[in-house]
Amino acid sequence: MPAEPYSLDECRRALEALARSGGDKTAAAKDLGWHRSRLRRLLRHLDSKGEANTFESGGEGYGPARDGFDPYVVKGVSTYYDADGNQRGQWVKTALDTQQRAEAMRAAFDAMAADLPRIAPIDAPAHITASLCNLYTLTDSHVGMLAWRKEGGADWDLDIAEETLLGCFAAMVSAAPKAGTGIVNVQGDFLHFDGLKPVTPEHGHILDADSRFSKVVSVAIRIIRRVLDMALAAHSIVHLVIAEGNHDESSSVWLRQMFAALYENEPRLSVNDSELPYYVFQHGKVMLAFHHGHKMKNDQLPMLFAAQFPVIWGQTTKRYCHTGHRHHEEVKEHSGMVVTQHSTLAARDAYAARGGWVSERQVKAISYHSEFGQVAINTIVPEMLAV
């Protein structure tokens, strides 16, 4: 068996540095005092072995889980023997534990948020109705998507997304009653793609993308900042929901962490910090539930929320669930809960246009009374911005 170019200690230190950095190869190489290319070569070597480490006989056969290295788990062990039955070498096959990787990412996001400058509180509005709660839903906004009117009927890019989302949100706030509580519901798929490559996170489908991911992130943050400022100017209490979507599974995590940190000094703003893609808010006798719609069908959601949040379910008599994902409106009552599937403001991309999916582009500000439930709906469509 040919000698391996990397020692046990080098592999161990490289993987531990990579774990500390949350997967950032540049930071891990700096931590090790290596050039980044050296770390890349070592990782490619491990990948070429099926994410295995190979060591000379006489050693224990390094197994990351055995040595307490959390992000990697042992998949199997293969041992090589000579003709006399003596052990000559051993392969310990490992794979990255997805749960541990997610926890490492969250830790990195926490660290990033700890250094952000906090936003100073702003004055609350003077005249509001405390018993009312306004829900503003922006779902499937797909910031960073590129759509062409000749294919889907309307254009969509970063500039159009920012102008449309902010304009329609301002119109919703203006049209809705002066409620004491406002909920900003970013209902999943706010970002069109979830990293440097414009692909779907789970299946790797290529997406129509506008610009670089760093620019997409910048625009997305600016939109939510301005939306929250409008909500805080209109309501005494604001609650932010940033739901996980199938296009932005990771980005929804750092967005929640970042905005919780940014507004840490704002006592009138709270951020839903659920680690699961199911979110709730109680307004008197009203239960408001949220899920993007990618993990559970609409008719299954009432029983899931009843089981997962039994105290809030038992304390309320009016219950409403809000979803997105399918880009068109549907309102139906299931098992004691009204499930509203919201439309999107985004234009159709080539995939949706070629698939023949057509829906009304709109957003709704829905008002709830703390005792009587839903009492008003105000609908805004993009065409109203041009009037």
Tens digit of pLDDT for each residue in 84-127? 777 766 665 555 555 555 565 566 566 656 666 788 888 899 88
- Domain of 291, in residue numbers: 126-386
On whether both 141 and 206 belong to a single domain, the answer is yes
Note the pLDDT tens digit of each residue in 8-51.
677 778 877 877 776 677 888 888 888 888 888 887 776 665 44
What confidence tier does 52 reach under pLDDT thresholds 50, 70, 90?
very low
194 located within any domain: yes
pLDDT at 105: 59
91 located within any domain: yes
121 located within any domain: no
On whether both 25 and 154 belong to a single domain, the answer is no
Bridge-partner residues for 288, per DSSP? 281, 320
18, 64 in Cβ contact below 8 A?
Answer: no
- The CA-atom distances, in angstroms, between 111 and each of 24, 27, 249, 267 are 14, 14, 19, 22
Note the pLDDT tens digit of each residue in 197-243.
999 998 899 999 998 999 999 999 999 999 999 999 999 999 999 99
On whether both 32 and 165 belong to a single domain, the answer is no
In the chain, pLDDT over 70 holds for what percent of residues?
Answer: 80
260: pLDDT strictly greater than 90: yes
pLDDT at 5: 64
Q: What is the mean pLDDT of the chain?
A: 85
On whether both 153 and 75 belong to a single domain, the answer is no
On whether both 88 and 166 belong to a single domain, the answer is no
On whether both 296 and 186 belong to a single domain, the answer is yes
366: pLDDT strictly greater than 50: yes
115 located within any domain: no
Query: Residue holding tokens 């540049």?
Result: 26
- The CA-atom distances, in angstroms, between 384 and each of 137, 157, 167 are 17, 19, 9
On whether both 132 and 67 belong to a single domain, the answer is no
Of the candidates 66, 84, 100, which is a domain's last residue? Answer: 100
114 located within any domain: no
1 located within any domain: no
On whether both 280 and 365 belong to a single domain, the answer is yes
pLDDT at 153: 94
At 151, which CATH number? 3.60.21.10
Mean pLDDT of 327-354: 95
On whether both 83 and 146 belong to a single domain, the answer is no
301: pLDDT strictly greater than 60: yes
On whether both 94 and 139 belong to a single domain, the answer is no
pLDDT at 55: 36
42 located within any domain: yes
On whether both 290 and 351 belong to a single domain, the answer is yes
109, 101 in Cβ contact below 8 A?
Answer: no
345: pLDDT strictly greater than 80: yes
By residue count, the chain amounts to: 387
On whether both 247 and 364 belong to a single domain, the answer is yes
Note the pLDDT tens digit of each residue in 157-199.
999 999 999 999 999 999 999 999 999 999 999 999 999 999 9
Number of domains in the chain: 2
Note the pLDDT tens digit of each residue in 267-277.
999 999 999 99
81: pLDDT strictly greater than 80: no
117 located within any domain: no
In the chain, pLDDT over 90 holds for what percent of residues?
Answer: 65
Of the candidates 100, 135, 159, which is a domain's last residue? Answer: 100
Note the pLDDT tens digit of each residue in 121-130.
888 998 899 9
